[in-house]
Structure 1
Amino acid sequence: MFRSFFFAFGFILSANATEPVLKGWQPEVRRIEIQSSVDQSLQPALTWSPASKETQPLLVGLHTWSGDYTQASNGRSYAQWCMDRGWHFIYPHFRGPNRTPESMGSDLAVQDIVDAVEQMKKTQRVDTNRIYLIGVSGGGHMAMLMAGRHPEIWAGVSAWCGISDIAAWHNEHLTDGTPDNYARNIEQALGGRPTAERLEDARKRSPLTHLAQARNVPLDINHGIHDGRVGSVPFRHGLFAFNKVATEPLAPTEISAYYESQQRPSNWTAPDADALYVGLPLKKPGMSAELAHQPVSKPVLFRKVSGNARITLFDGGHEILYAPALNWLALQRKGQAAVWQISNPLPVGPEADTQSGL
């Protein structure tokens, strides 16, 4: 069995030409290993690159809270977009499911994503003005965290239904003081409940602590209005995250009232319609032609732009809408003001309707 190794600046890339394709992924996607610049461990990732000799954008996709680098449910859609557009793609492990001290936004997990970007820059022709980051749920948490921890990397960050405050989310997953699975995951990562001496660690792993550093990064935060009821992350997490990058923040009392009532405060401006949030066709494999042509309607219910940041609440749950997410990213350039108007949206791949889950 043939295996090749490339050594560059402390990174190790391994690729097996006969390695079986991971279940659910496109045959062209390959597994690599990247040596951590912190603990020198070999960290896996999935990747694809075009044959083009010209520089191309790089999309970094992030797995969800309970997932890892093999999770195809979201990653396959990110990869397909890159294949269709000729972009580079990488899907890092960043220490896997969020239930160990090394995961859940730790310094190691953060550096793993930086290392993955550096590996692609060293081994592929990457347009460094077009490096994008995308994630939903636990991936949304990490996308927002990376926007704040390493704003110098990103041309655009698209975060969907992400956890913005670890301690608050732990509290939201207690029933009469008893932790559910997600609260237990947090305790496993922190070594106990996020109180007393562990509270600072929880804060460090929370996007709210770092997002003020992301004010120059085009950042698109999206959250379904039913999340927290049908889904595990109350949509107020998205609103509070937006406040950290906004020059005109939303009133915290009105955020809380919005979540409790699901009724937009009367003094918040009604949004314009966005065609990319409605009329999205369902295209799941095996679906009947009749059902496949029925549109997915997730209209925008609230939207606010402040500087390079935008918050969108849509009529949905704990999910990502790939068409608006990926088309928005494609317009962004590093060091330039965020572009919000999408005039000529590109089609998404056959798997890219919506995907939810932690």
Structure 2
Amino acid sequence: MRKSFVFLTTIFILIGLALFLPDGEEEKQKVTLVKGREYETFSRLAKSPLKKIPDLRAWKKIVPEVTTIAIKSSTGQTNQPALFYDSGSARKKPLLLVLHSWSEDYRQYFSIPYGIWAVKNDWVFMHPDYRGAFTNPEATASETALRDILDAVEYAKKNARIDESRIYIAGFSGGAMATLIMVGRYPELWAGAVAWVPVYDLTEWYTTTRNARHGYARQIANSCGGTPLPGTKAARECRKRSPSTYLKHARGKNVPVYIAVGIDDRFVPPGHAIMAFNDLAAEEDRISRADIEYINARHQLPPRLSGEYSDTLYADAGVKLLFERESAHAVLKIFEGGHDVIYNAGLYWLSTRRKSAPAGW
């Protein structure tokens, strides 16, 4: 009799916990992290044997469940390619929409860890092309490209059972730039957003990259119609394609945004991520321009921002967390390293977000 009583009591406690856990806590207990050393960070994946395999073959080899689809564009008669995964299970599922980086397209193998996560956790996965690499006016966060992203969301909602309280967006570098634009322009759509090493302002990035050998400045000029000098049409076009124009509109809209950057990023200065955080943060939590300039120039934290911080998922990936700040619905993480992604950290954070989450989460 006593054993039966204990068993029933345990069952009632578990039911009670399930009913009264804060939004996202149940999912915390269920998610399966992406395994494999090469899938922990972008920098490690970029050096893996996959780099020698054509992108679609790499997807087929590692995540064969992810397939290529065509999405009819709402801005014309073209079909736009994307990668897509849906298990077909009966339950309503989170949608994970991932945006490729600056120099890539929908086939980018750097996004494979997101596909692995979706398969392991029965999420719907979408990886749109949104007009390919950011080298021309039709791409690079153009109105057409942004419409393609919305089309991808609509396709997923029509072709899979989507939990609309759990539509997530994530991106890296140029994909993070597009992610932040989508957050600023459509904050009501997203249950959470993750932006790794984002470009915040194209004109400012043009200035810092114009003498570099990698060609990004030339691609910015190609996309925006010329050198973005003050007062020019090209400068206005760059503003239209930059998170700096839109992101502040998401402040107070209760959309959780996770922004992370490596202190030693030599492609996109760390200040871009910090300025994005400032657009979303309460005034008293913003990081000063002087501190941003210090970080950009020295690639280290000013003494007054230095401290001891820890994050298990960063540590698991062999990455040291140097700084963390939360304000309103924004999170900023600065880590030891460069232009990188710590996949599980961002994905786990997304898994705990829902539109219905109370203020303060």
Fold match (TM-score > 0.5): yes
Query: How do 1:65-80 and structure 2 match up within 5 A?
Result: 65-74=102-111, 76-80=112-116
Q: Which amino acid aligns with 1:254?
A: D
Consecutive unaligned residues in structure 1, runs of 5 or more: 1-20, 281-295, 341-358
Q: Which residue number corresponds to residue 56 of structure 1?
A: 93
Aligned to 1:17: none
* Alignment pair present for 1:316 and 2:337: yes
Contact in 2 for aligned 1:148/1:210 (Cα 8 Å) = yes
- Counterpart for residue 210 of structure 1: 246
Aligned partners of 2:172 and 2:214: how far apart in 1? 21
Cross-structure match for 2:162 = 126
Partner of 2:144: 108
After TM superposition, give the deviation of residue 259 of structure 1 in Å: 2.1
Deviation at 1:174, TM superposition (A): 1.6
Structure 1 pair 278/47, CA: closer, same or farther in 2 (3 Å)? same
- Bigger-Rg structure (1/2): 2
Q: Distance in 1 between matches of 2:278 and 2:143?
A: 24
TM-score by length of 2: 0.79
Q: Post-superposition shift, 1:272? A: 2.6
1:1-358 aligned at under 5 Å gives the runs 22-25=56-59, 26-74=63-111, 76-175=112-211, 180-195=214-229, 196-215=232-251, 216-228=254-266, 232-248=267-283, 249-268=286-305, 270-280=307-317, 296=318, 298-337=319-358
Deviation at 1:71, TM superposition (A): 1.1
Give 1:338 deviation, angstroms: 7.1
Distance in 2, Cα, partners of 1:106 & 1:132: 21
Q: CA offset at residue 158 of structure 1?
A: 0.5
Q: Deviations over 1:52-95 (max 9, x none)?
A: 11101010011110100111222x11111000000000100000
Query: TM-score, normalised to structure 1's length?
Result: 0.80
In 2, Cα distance between equivalents of 1:270 and 1:39: 52
Residue identity in the other structure for 1:277: Y
In 2, Cα distance between equivalents of 1:129 and 1:40: 31
Change (3 A) 1:339 1:96: farther
Match for 2:181: what amino acid? Answer: L
Alpha-carbon distance, 1:258 to partner: 2.2
Q: Does the CA contact (< 8 Å) of 1:218 and 1:337 recur in 2? A: no
> Quick check: 1:134–1:140 contact (8 Å CA) kept in 2?
yes
C-alpha offsets along residues 243-287 of structure 1, whole Å, 9 cap, x if unaligned? 11111321111111122123322333625311111122xxxxxxx
Cα pair 2:69 2:84 within 8 Å, conserved: yes
Alpha-carbon distance between aligned partners in 1 of 2:327 and 2:356, rounded to the nearest angstrom = 16
Work out whether residues 225 and 233 of structure 2, in 8 Å CA contact, stay in contact via their aligned partners in 1. Answer: no
2: CA distance, partners of 1:311 / 1:81: 23
CA distance in structure 1 between the aligned counterparts of 2:345 and 2:214, rounded to whole angstroms? 33
8 Å contact 1:332–1:339 — kept in the other structure? no
Note the alpha carbon deviations across 1:209-248, whole angstroms, 9 max, x for none.
11112222100000001102xxx11111100111111113
Separation in 2, partners of 1:207, 1:80: 29
Structure 1 distance, partners of 2:159, 2:88, is 13
Structure 1: 4+ residue segments shifted above 4 A: 337-340
- Aligned mates of 1:29, 1:122 — CA distance in 2: 18
C-alpha separation between the residues in 1 aligned to 2:239 and 2:335? 28
Check conservation: 2:270, 2:295, Cα contact below 8 A. no
Distance 1:338 1:114, change over 3 A: farther
Unaligned runs of 5+ in 2: 1-54
* Greater fraction of residues in helix: 2
Percent identity (aligned): 40
1:89 and 1:180 map into 2 onto residues whose CA distance is 31
How many aligned residue pairs are there? 298
Give the number of the structure whose residues are more often strand, by fraction. Answer: 1
Q: Which residue of 1 aligns with 2:45?
A: none
Q: Is the 8 A contact 1:332 1:338 kept in 2?
A: no
Q: Which residue of 1 aligns with 2:29?
A: none
Contact 2:221 2:234 in 1 (8 A): no
